[in-house]
Amino acid sequence: MAEEITRPRLEIVRAARRAAISAGDFQDPGPQANLFPVPKRGLLIFVYFPDVTEQEFRETLECAKPSFVLELRSAPRFDIGKLNRQLAFQAFQTQGSRYLDLTSATMGKRDQEGVVSSLRGFLQSARVSLERPVMFLVNSSESDEDFTKRILDTVSSYKAGFSEVYEVPRYVGSTWPSSR
């Protein structure tokens, strides 16, 4: 009896599409959330430069109103679209967000261990609240999944309660067109 040959099954791989930023992404759902929006407790936001657009960056900052904006890039720059360093710092001040550069000790070098160590030191000494999100500015070419995991593990070891991660830009799976 001849063995049946099984052929690989072909599947359609759906491309991810870039999702718009929405104020609801950063608010806890509740019975009166539309009237009295409450920021999501325990939200960590990773913003990837240079992939993020000016609009995405501004909308994330305005909608999330993070308590802290933590700089993890070895060369912090804000020149996306019409945004520059001065406008970015004005936006931080407007939202009541405290900007902290955790890479200044690395002197512009890629040093993930130094960044994690600086984050550890910050978490030991700061009073980071769970009431408002915390934003991390990351260079997409300097970071990978392992680096992000190390940041999450470090935050979790000092502050229990951070439970959700939001990445900007954000991608969602697209849907295949329905057949007619």
Nearest partner of 103 among 93, 95, 91, 111, judged by Cα = 111
Phi-psi sector, 161: left (phi>0), alpha (psi -120 to 50), beta: left
- Confidence at residue 1, expressed as pLDDT on a 0 to 100 scale: 55
Structurally, the chain folds into a number of domains equal to 1
Tokens 């984050």 belong to 119
- Confidence at residue 34, expressed as pLDDT on a 0 to 100 scale: 64
- Confidence at residue 128, expressed as pLDDT on a 0 to 100 scale: 80
Residue 90 in domain: yes
What range defines the domain where residue 123 resides? 60-168
- Confidence at residue 106, expressed as pLDDT on a 0 to 100 scale: 64
Residue 180 in domain: no
End-to-end CA distance of the chain: 43
Under a CB-based contact definition with an 8 Å cutoff, are residues 100 and 122 in contact? yes
- Confidence at residue 66, expressed as pLDDT on a 0 to 100 scale: 95
Residue 48 in domain: no
* Pairing state between β 98-101 and 164-168: unpaired
Give me the average pLDDT of each 10-residue run along the chain (180 residues): 68 79 84 69 93 96 95 92 95 96 74 88 83 92 86 86 88 55
Q: SS3 string of 13-28?
A: CCCEEEECCCHHHHEC
- Confidence at residue 85, expressed as pLDDT on a 0 to 100 scale: 94
Residue 72 in domain: yes
- Confidence at residue 56, expressed as pLDDT on a 0 to 100 scale: 97
- Confidence at residue 32, expressed as pLDDT on a 0 to 100 scale: 63
Please state the pTM of the whole predicted model.
Answer: 0.82
Under a CB-based contact definition with an 8 Å cutoff, are residues 142 and 107 in contact? no
Residue 73 in domain: yes
Extract the runs of DSSP E, i.e. beta strands, from 29-91.
43-49, 68-71
Residue 26 in domain: no
Residue 130 in domain: yes
Residue 39 in domain: no
Under a CB-based contact definition with an 8 Å cutoff, are residues 95 and 62 in contact? yes
Between the alpha carbon of residue 148 and those of residues 32, 69, 86, the distances in Å are 34, 16, 27
85-95 vs 54-64: helix axis angle to the nearest 10? Answer: 20
Which amino acid, residue 171? Answer: Y
Nearest partner of 83 among 54, 57, 63, judged by Cα = 54
- Confidence at residue 51, expressed as pLDDT on a 0 to 100 scale: 95
